[in-house]
Amino acid sequence: MSESRPAKLALADGTVFTGTAFGAEGESFGEVVFNTSMTGYQEIITDPSYCGQIIVMTYPQIGNYGVNPEDVESGRPALKGFVCRELCEKPSNHRATHSLSSYLKENGVIGIQGIDTRALVRRLRSQGAMTGVLSTTDLDDESLIKKAQTSPELVGQDYVREVMPTECVGWTEPLSELARNTSGSPIPKAGSGKRPKVVAVDYGMKWNIPRHLVESGCEVDIVPGTATAEEILARNPDGVFLSNGPGDPRPLDYAINTIKELIDKKPIFGICLGQQLLGLAMGGEIFKLKFGHRGGNQPVLNKETGRVEVTSQNHGFAIDEKSLPDDVEVTHINLNDNTVSGIRHRTKPVFGVQYHPEASAGPHDSRYLFDRFLESMEQTSGQAAQ
């Protein structure tokens, strides 16, 4: 057991939790949110959508299978802090190359364990997600509470610019052999003809998304979230993918305006932040959820089939169903709170979902959406050739 170091987490409502530090030393602030996944902490930590946030895991023991270089979902963690009930300091898994604590320390992320995470999550559910300060250096309650109350809120901030790539790249890496063999469902494959070209607009994209697109037979170009419609169309794509990403979609005028220009020109598939931006571009409105949807066990009703899909989700905002224009229909509903989980245009090959069909980590119920995207590109290409 390593030497114990004290740490504190203070919330803007005046609540302070005292525990033991792991990972990096220092102090950080962010919106405190919780994730209900039982596994997949490495993918969660490296999901760029958590930029600006401190993650609380509801599952009690975290770190038991360590960290490995194959399961990361981005170049480095973007979260502001990590909270768990009990840290496993000696992982047991043949794939592990680091302990969770050493990985967080290497990437400058502060962790705290040994607090009552159930009490913390109950407070976030009743009061809503709120700003918090996590510190190993300032352990004065009044000082930390004041910092939490005066730190900027996540609402209204543009965090996409902090996590998106700075240049365009081609992506060729498919799914790993492990992911391919444990998928539980067939990966859709493109036909034997020309490979469809997808331009993936990266607002903070998890790497398992382009892996799935490549596995499906697509040629994939990744462009920054600030790319213009002209820059995207210059790559002559068969379809455009709008990725996940962090924060509030409403300040992202550059992305919304680009999507508006693309809607009449190419098939579009958006997920998470990508769906929210798509909804804004089509005339809808966005509101902030009280504590968001984060976890690999979110039930969603597919209104077309009547089936319930268990999905992986990570977002704090949602589309206001009543604000959607008549030419946009709701295709999926979150069964926990009846918020919008999927939309599509009634006459154009444009659709989105408020969850992660690529999972990583999470269930594979929604992989058919990649197949649907392939079909929309094939149909559009066929119509253009006629």
- Which residues are known to be catalytic? 272, 356, 358
Where are the extended beta strands (E) located within 58-212? 61-62, 81-83, 86-87, 110-113, 130-135, 169-171, 197-202
Per the CB < 8 A criterion, the answer to whether 41 and 57 are in contact is: yes
CA distance linking residue 40 with residue 356, whole number of Å: 13
Where are the extended beta strands (E) located within the chain? 6-11, 16-23, 27-35, 53-57, 61-62, 81-83, 86-87, 110-113, 130-135, 169-171, 197-202, 219-224, 239-242, 268-271, 285-302, 308-320, 328-334, 340-345, 350-353
CA dihedral 100, 104, 110, 116 (to 10 degrees): -20
Nearest Cα to 34, choosing from 316, 281, 287, 303?
316
184 C-beta neighbours (distance < 10 Å), count: 10
1 C-beta neighbours (distance < 10 Å), count: 5
CA dihedral 88, 90, 95, 96 (to 10 degrees): 80
Determine how β-strand 169-171 pairs with β-strand 197-202: unpaired
User: Under DSSP, is residue 122 helix (H, G, I), strand (E, B) or coil?
Assistant: helix
Provide the residue type at 272 as one letter.
Answer: C
Pair of tokens at residue 333:
């509903």
User: Under DSSP, is residue 264 helix (H, G, I), strand (E, B) or coil?
Assistant: coil
CA distance linking residue 385 with residue 373, whole number of Å: 18
Buried (b) or exposed (e) across 337-367, using 16+ Cβ within 10 A? eebbbbbbbeebbbbbbbbbbbbbbbbbbbb
CA distance linking residue 229 with residue 175, whole number of Å: 29
CA distances (Å), origin 38, targets 73, 81, 194, 378: 18, 18, 41, 38
